[in-house]
Amino acid sequence: MSVTLLQKIALVVTIIGAINWGLIGLFQFDLVAWLFAGETSIVSRTIYTLVGITGLINIGLLFAPTED
């Protein structure tokens, strides 16, 4: 299985997004919104969009052949 640099970057961003969702679920604390002046700021919305796009990129990892 050959993981590209883009997939590795996408995976890191997806993990960061998952951590943020965990904080929201457990503590009702949105780290991205807190860091970037609210959930409707352009920076926060851009980060949310990037997390969504990287999640879609990582769908390809589900169907990649594995080395046994």
pLDDT at residue number 61: 83
Tens of pLDDT, residue by residue over 4-59, are: 898 889 999 999 999 999 999 999 999 999 999 999 999 999 999 999 999 999 99
Q: Distance between CA atoms of 3 and 23, rounded to whole angstroms?
A: 28
pLDDT at residue number 68: 63
Q: Is residue 67 part of a domain?
A: no
Please count the structural domains in the chain.
1
Q: Is residue 46 part of a domain?
A: yes
Q: Is residue 34 part of a domain?
A: yes
Q: At residue 2, does pLDDT exceed 80?
A: no
Say how far residue 34 (Cα) sits from the centre of its chain: 17
DSSP E strand stretches across the chain: none
Structural domain span for residue 46? 5-62
Q: If pLDDT is split at 50, 70 and 90, which confidence band does 67 have?
A: confident
Q: Is residue 40 part of a domain?
A: yes
Q: Is residue 52 part of a domain?
A: yes
Tell me the pTM: 0.81
Q: Is residue 68 part of a domain?
A: no
